[in-house]
Amino acid sequence: MRLSAGGAAGLLLATASTGCFSNRQNEGAALYQTHCSSCHGTQGEGLRRLIPPVAASDYVACNRAGLPCLVRRGMKGDVVVNGIHYNQVMPGHEDLTDSQITNLLNFVQRNWGNQNEPYTVREVSELLEPCHGSDGQ
């Protein structure tokens, strides 16, 4: 089979696009492993009564609007997850872009018993607007 110059370029573009898409598709899982798993667990299970779970989490399901800011700025103070009180400091991840926060949250939203609506980058960017000046609470 012989490809024309245009056909070869198209095949190259399709291959490059697929690889790029695959990397982005898995970015949420990689970001979770890098930034979240050491506290929230590799399967989102949390750590006993010290760190809340993100797996099958009522907090994840009920706090959609606040999650992007929570990831970016962190939080401190009492939080109730699945009926259990937690009171540890969660560091923020201000180094993550809006797109990375979207991918990270979408990974959590669709795994470990969570079946929540995925975010768009635009939605996350809009939800992050009011939290730029907050102290993470």
Q: Which domains does the chain show, CATH number per domain?
A: 27-122 (1.10.760.10)
For the entire predicted model, the pTM comes to: 0.78
Q: Is the pLDDT of residue 30 over 70?
A: yes
Q: Report the pLDDT value the prediction gives residue 134, as an integer from 0 to 100.
A: 46
Q: Is 73 exposed, middle or buried (0-12, 13-18, 19+ CB in 10 A)?
A: buried
H-state helical runs in the chain:
5-25, 27-35, 37-40, 58-62, 67-73, 98-109, 121-128
Q: Is 131 exposed, middle or buried (0-12, 13-18, 19+ CB in 10 A)?
A: middle
Q: Report the pLDDT value the prediction gives residue 136, as an integer from 0 to 100.
A: 42
**Average pLDDT, integer, range 3-20:** 44
Please report which confidence band the pLDDT of residue 131 belongs to, taking 50, 70 and 90 as the band edges.
confident
As a whole number of angstroms, the distance between CA 43 and CA 32 comes to: 10
Q: Measure the N-to-C terminal CA separation of the chain; round to a whole number of Å.
A: 62
Q: Report the pLDDT value the prediction gives residue 116, as an integer from 0 to 100.
A: 92
Q: Is the pLDDT of residue 21 over 50?
A: no
Tell me the pLDDT tens digit for each residue of 74-116: 999 999 999 999 999 999 999 999 999 999 999 999 999 999 9
